[in-house]
Structure 1
């Protein structure tokens, strides 16, 4: 397993406190856990992946995700079993949209 951590500063969008878990860890898939955390307007993403050596691709996907959402005070954990970048983006967006739907 490889562990990657990304941190994006100066987020603009705060989530409403809802914790969301989407996806299932299985062959070719992943799960995403989103939680609110006091990160001084940053978004931290920790990835545990079975696919070794794809750090540059993960970085590009996480950068794209950050550009779309600009999250503040969000902690995201990803457990991956070889999902494609498209599936990663889909699951991340699904988790954030679920958080926003639960906002009061």
Structure 2
């Protein structure tokens, strides 16, 4: 197991928690929670060591586009960069669905 930490500036507010995915072969779980800080803090726990640079690039690209203030926990079991991006987008979609349901 390897644990990685990343931080990105954020300007947009996240209002609700989101939980997507499962930890399993080739997949990952993402827990996304609102933060009062003007940044996104990401903790990645992965079963695959040595891919810190790849994680940094994938997360940097995503959070430069979607600059939400959040605390993100990713529990990975060998997901590809495409799956990581898809799950992150899915977490934002789940968070936005809370707003729609609430109205």
Same fold (TM over 0.5): yes
In the TM superposition, residue 5 of structure 1 has moved relative to its aligned partner by 0.6
Structure 2 unaligned blocks of 5 or more: none
**1:3 — aligned with what?**
3
If the length of structure 1 is used for normalisation, what is the TM-score?
A: 0.92
2:78 corresponds to 1:79: no
**1:60 — aligned with what?**
57
After the TM superposition, which segments of 4 or more aligned residues of structure 1 sit over 4 Å from their partners? none
If the length of structure 2 is used for normalisation, what is the TM-score?
A: 0.92
The partner residue of 1:92 within 56, 75, 88 is 88
In the TM superposition, residue 37 of structure 1 has moved relative to its aligned partner by 2.3
**1:50 — aligned with what?**
47
